[in-house]
Structure 1
Amino acid sequence: MYGALWRVLPGPVWLRILLLLVLVAVVLFALVTWVFPWVDSLLGPQEGTVGP
C-alpha cells in the first residue's frame, strides 16, 4: 500500500515527502476535529471516581 501511494505521488523525492507530510497533517486534523468527538459521543460518559 505504501509503495503504491509513493508511486502515485508526482514529482521528485522532496516534493513527495512534502506531499505526504501535508496529507498526514490533513488526516490528523480531520480525525481530531470530526471523528474523535463523534466516537466520544457514541461511547457515553466515563465516570471515574477515587475513594473508599
Structure 2
Amino acid sequence: MSFYGWVWRVLPGPVPVKVVEAAVLVLAVVAVLFVWVFPQVAPFMPFNNTTVGQ
C-alpha cells in the first residue's frame, strides 16, 4: 500500500473534490518547504561556496 493511495482514500468527497483537495495539499507542502525548510537548509548547501574570481 502506497502513501499516495492512502491519502487518496482518506480525502473526503467525490473524485473532482478529491482532485482539488489533493492539489491544495501539494501546494501547502510546497509552500512549507519554500518558507521554512529550504531557508533553514540553505546555509549548509555546498553551492553557496562559490569559487569564481572577483
Superposed CA RMSD: 1.8
Q: Gaps spanning 5+ residues in structure 1: where?
A: none
Correspondence 1:32-47 to 2 at 5 A: 32-41=34-43, 43=44, 45-47=48-50
- State the shift of 1:48 in Å: 2.9
- State the shift of 1:2 in Å: 1.2
Q: Gaps spanning 5+ residues in structure 2: where?
A: none
**Please, what TM-score do these two structures have when normalized by structure 1?**
0.82
Structure 1 segments of 4+ aligned residues over 6 angstroms from their partners = none
1:7 aligns with 2:14: no
**Please, what TM-score do these two structures have when normalized by structure 2?**
0.79
Equivalent pairs: percent with the same residue?
40
Aligned residues: 50
